[in-house]
Structure 1
Amino acid sequence: MDNAPKTYDVIEVCMLAGKIMMESGAETYRVEDTMSRIASSFGIHNSHSFVTPTGIIFSIDGDDPSKLYRISKRSTDLKKVTEVNSISRKISSGDLTVKDALLELRKIEKESVAYPIWLQIFAAFISSGCFLIMFQGQWHDFIPACVAGGLGFSCLLYLHQLLEIKFFAEFLSSLLIGLAAMLFVNIGIGYEIDKIIIGAVMPLVPGLLITNAVRDLIAGHLVSGISKGAEAFLTAFAIGTGIAVVFSF
């Protein structure tokens, strides 16, 4: 009877760590490895985990039931991934008990460590212009690209809160970027509409998702790799469709 609560708490720690990492943009194999290491550190050496972008299943040998967590939201928050990895290392070194680890993970789950919205928009604003220069654009198009990129990213953040359909938000954001770039060129502020659009849409491109999809496929996680690749493809398709609609007019 004494081991039952402890075993349940260990499963809860493993599941919560995996859930936070998966929701924050970690790779599938990293999530499974972290869960396995945490379980081994607490004396459970025969654990099994199955991680996909939409759910986590974890079980151990014996009579203890398997547990499933549903992943309904996914974002990019590598700060949380780093903090969970730090807790995992403390557990491996014996510095944290099961109860303390569970409290720390629940604290990480509740807190918002992402940068403020205004800073995210400003970063998209500056990076859009820098991408334009990187793609051999001219300096006189720097400000139009910054403004278009900032408007598109602001629209993306707003629509993600307003709409449940992620790809529709990306379509409208890229549509706004295309319209803004066309407006700048037509009134004489911008000159190369293609370079302005390329620089402005780069903050919308799912770079981390594509990278994780490739790394999961290489690591042998075919289900996660294919599903992440499909999500990245749909996101890129939505962005391209928004720009294509602008050029069709």
Structure 2
Amino acid sequence: MENEYIRTDEVTEVCLLAGKIMLQNGAETYRVEDTMTRIAAAFGILHSHSFVTPTGIIFSIDSSETTRLIRVSERFTNLEKVAVVNDISRKISEKKLTVQDACERLKEVEKTKYSFPVWVQIIAAALASGCFLIMFQGKWIDFLPAVITGGVGFCALLYFQYLVEIKFFAEFVSAFIIGLLAFLLVMSGFGHEIDKIIIGAVMPLVPGLLITNAVRDLMAGHLVSGISKGAEACLTAFAIGTGIAVVFSII
């Protein structure tokens, strides 16, 4: 009986760790719950229950009296970690990993940073800004101003996210810097269409994954997660819009 309790506790730890990593790095709520259920079933626990929200995970097993809760206070966008956890889940289902091996692998994934260097992220955001400008029917003459504005704005976003832990503050300041820089470039004659430059530059700040996950969760019936993610996406969009509006109100 004691060995069974220890094994159940280990499986619960693996399920919660996998769910936490996925939820923190941009996975949908239904995917987190499905992965946790599949891992538990692969280890012989067929009757498990999970309740996932953007800020926490509750997991329980019928044969155990203990219900575990994990708080998730920080969320990022790192789909590489989600893919790695999915791969570990498949190997568990195929009986290629034991409980101990899976736990060790997941702890390594949690500690490892599967992200590109900051300079690569800034360059990618800058180039994406220029491409979005062309996509929104901007002129090629404004491509370089959009690249500069988008790169500086994304750099400001990363800096203020590291400096201040207040939610939505980094998006507001970044959007303000983008609007101000776009205005200065147009006034100096280097840029021409300020609206297209701003639209292209703010696109790397737009919470696209968050909006997609909110809609997907609502379609899957996860109303609490869908509404909360939708509210977070709306507040982020509001912060970006407010930053641009402040610039236009000043000038």
Report TM bin, short chain.
over 0.9
Alpha-carbon deviation of 1:64?
Answer: 3.2
1:7 match: 8
Corresponding residue SS for 1:166: coil
Kindly provide the amino acid, as one letter, of the partner of residue 136 in structure 2.
F
Secondary structure in 2 matching 1:67: strand
Q: Does 1:247 align with 2:224?
A: no
Partner SS for 2:16: helix
How do 1:43-62 residues align onto structure 2 when only pairs under 5 Å count?
43-62=44-63
Aligned partners of 1:173, 1:166: CA distance in 2, in Å? Answer: 13
Structure 1 runs not aligned, ≥5 long: none
Moved more, 1-10 or 173-182: 1-10
Shift of 1:4: 1.3
TM-score normalised by structure 2 residue count:
0.98
Q: Aligned partners of 1:223, 1:57: CA distance in 2, in Å?
A: 14
| Match in the other structure for 2:128 | 127
- Aligned counterparts of 2:65 and 2:78: Cα–Cα separation in 1: 32
2:239 aligned partner: 238
3-state DSSP of counterpart to 1:2: helix
Q: Which residue of 1 aligns with 2:209?
A: 208
How high is the TM-score relative to the length of structure 1? 0.99
Cα distance, 1:166 vs structure 2: 2.3
Q: What are the superposed Cα offsets for residues 53-92 of structure 1, whole Å, 9 maximum, x if unpaired?
A: 0000000113330100000100000000000000000000
Contact 2:5 2:64 (C-alpha < 8 Å) held by counterparts:
no
Corresponding residue of 2:96: 95
Map 1:220-239 → 2, pairs under 5 A: 220-239=221-240
Q: Give the counterpart letter for 2:21 in structure 1.
A: I
SS of equivalent to 1:59: strand
Paired amino acid for 2:230: G
Q: Which runs of structure 1 show a deviation greater than 6 angstroms over 4 or more consecutive aligned residues? A: none
Matched position secondary structure for 1:107: helix
1:114-193 superposed matches below 5 A:
114-193=115-194
Percent of matched pairs sharing the same residue: 67
Per the TM alignment, residue 211 of structure 1 is displaced from its structure 2 partner at its CA by: 0.2
Following TM superposition, by how much is the alpha carbon of 1:165 offset from its aligned partner in structure 2, in angstroms?
A: 1.0
Structure 1 residue 201: Cα displacement:
0.2
The 3-state SS of whatever aligns with 1:76 is: coil
Superposed CA RMSD? 0.6
State the Cα deviation string for residues 98-136 of structure 1 (Å, max 9, x = none).
Answer: 000000000000000111110000000100000000000
Distance 1:105 1:203 in 2: 30
Query: For residue 20 of structure 2, what is the aligned residue in structure 1?
Result: 19
